[in-house]
Amino acid sequence: DTAVSQTPKYLVTQMGNDKSIKCEQNLGHDTMYWYKQDSKKFLKIMFSYNNKELIINETVPNRFSPKSPDKAHLNLHINSLELGDSAVYFCASSQGQGARNTIYFGEGSWLTVV
Amino acid sequence: AQSVTQPDIHITVSEGASLELRCNYSYGATPYLFWYVQSPGQGLQLLLKYFSGDTLVQGIKGFEAEFKRSQSSFNLRKPSVHWSDAAEYFCAVGFYNQGGKLIFGQGTELSVKP
């Protein structure tokens, strides 16, 4: 079983559309994250949640709205998609919020905005 | 400015040869240090991490890294590279007071020639 799973893996959509990426972890972790990897492979944190509570919000446009219905799920909704949103989005999880806790990444969701 | 630098964007080594990937950080305090590997089309996998203590740490897949405070470096090494090691390698830092936020370097792509 995949520990951190994301759907869809690939998504091609037009500018202006609204889309969601879903993430689920079966590791029993209490903390989940979204990271964005741009076309130059640069990885940057977007959000983190601990027990459904928003902990980190890294100056992400408010078109991006994470939602955590329970501690095993963290979905990412993106409104009014722009060309610059094209990237790979990685979901991740850890037990505990601290940097000492190993972070497990999903396989990524490739978003292409045309 | 605070940063994580991986000076080599792309490295090619012969199978069986030794490998060293460089990572330098620019922060006032010693951060937690990590190396992740990303195989094509896959998520990130933790290779090893350093928090404190012995400055030479062992990881999975035969990798090791050495923390050198005087050089603000955390270089990744492997004595004998296998073709399956071809991937993108990311150095990352975390801090005790910033939750699970990791700051990544720009990555080094490793190619292995027969």
Tell me the per-residue pLDDT of A38-49, one tens digit each, with 9 for 90 and over: 998 899 999 999
CA A107/CA A88 separation, integer angstroms: 9
- Which among A55, A37, A59, A52 is positioned nearest to A109, based on CA atoms? A37
Cα–Cα distances in Å, from A62 out to A23, A46, A47, B109? 19, 11, 12, 33
Tokens of B45: 């996998």
Q: Give the pLDDT confidence score for residue A1 in this predicted structure.
A: 61
Candidate from B43, B51, B107 with C-beta closest to A90 = B43
Query: What is the average per-residue pLDDT within A14-38?
Result: 96
Q: Give the pLDDT confidence score for residue B42 in this predicted structure.
A: 84
Q: Give the pLDDT confidence score for residue A29 in this predicted structure.
A: 95
Window 23-52 of B: residues touching A by CB (8 A cutoff) are: 31-32, 36, 41-46, 49, 51
Q: Give the pLDDT confidence score for residue B27 in this predicted structure.
A: 84
- Which among B60, B71, B2 is positioned nearest to B35, based on CA atoms? B60
CA distance B39 to chain A (A): 10
Q: Give the pLDDT confidence score for residue A56 in this predicted structure.
A: 87
Q: Give the pLDDT confidence score for residue B97 in this predicted structure.
A: 77
B99 contacts on A by Cβ (under 8 Å): 31, 48, 50, 55-56, 97-99
Q: Is B24 left (phi over 0), alpha (psi -120 to 50) or beta?
A: beta
Nearest CA in chain A to B44: A105
Query: What is the average per-residue pLDDT within A15-31?
Result: 96
Q: What is the mean pLDDT of chain B?
A: 93
CA distance A49 to chain B (A): 10
A66 close to A74: Cβ distance less than 8 angstroms: yes
Q: The tokens 């037990």 sit on which residue?
A: A95
CA A65/CA B114 separation, integer angstroms: 46
Q: Is there a contact between A99 and B96 if contact means CB atoms under 8 Å apart?
A: yes
Q: Is there a contact between B107 and A102 if contact means CB atoms under 8 Å apart?
A: no
Q: The tokens 């292409």 sit on which residue?
A: A112
Segments of chain B scoring below 50 in pLDDT = none
| CA A12 to mean position of chain CA atoms | 17
H/E run at residue A74:
strand A73-78
Q: What is the mean pLDDT of chain A?
A: 93
Tens of pLDDT, residue by residue over A72-86, are: 999 999 999 999 999
Q: The tokens 């939750």 sit on which residue?
A: B99
Q: Give the pLDDT confidence score for residue A109 in this predicted structure.
A: 96
Give me the total of CB pairs closer than 8 Å, taking one residue from chain A and one from chain B. 73
Task: Provide the sign of the torsion angle of the four alpha carbons B35, A45, A6, B41, taken in this order.
Answer: negative
Residue A59 has pLDDT above 90, yes or no: no
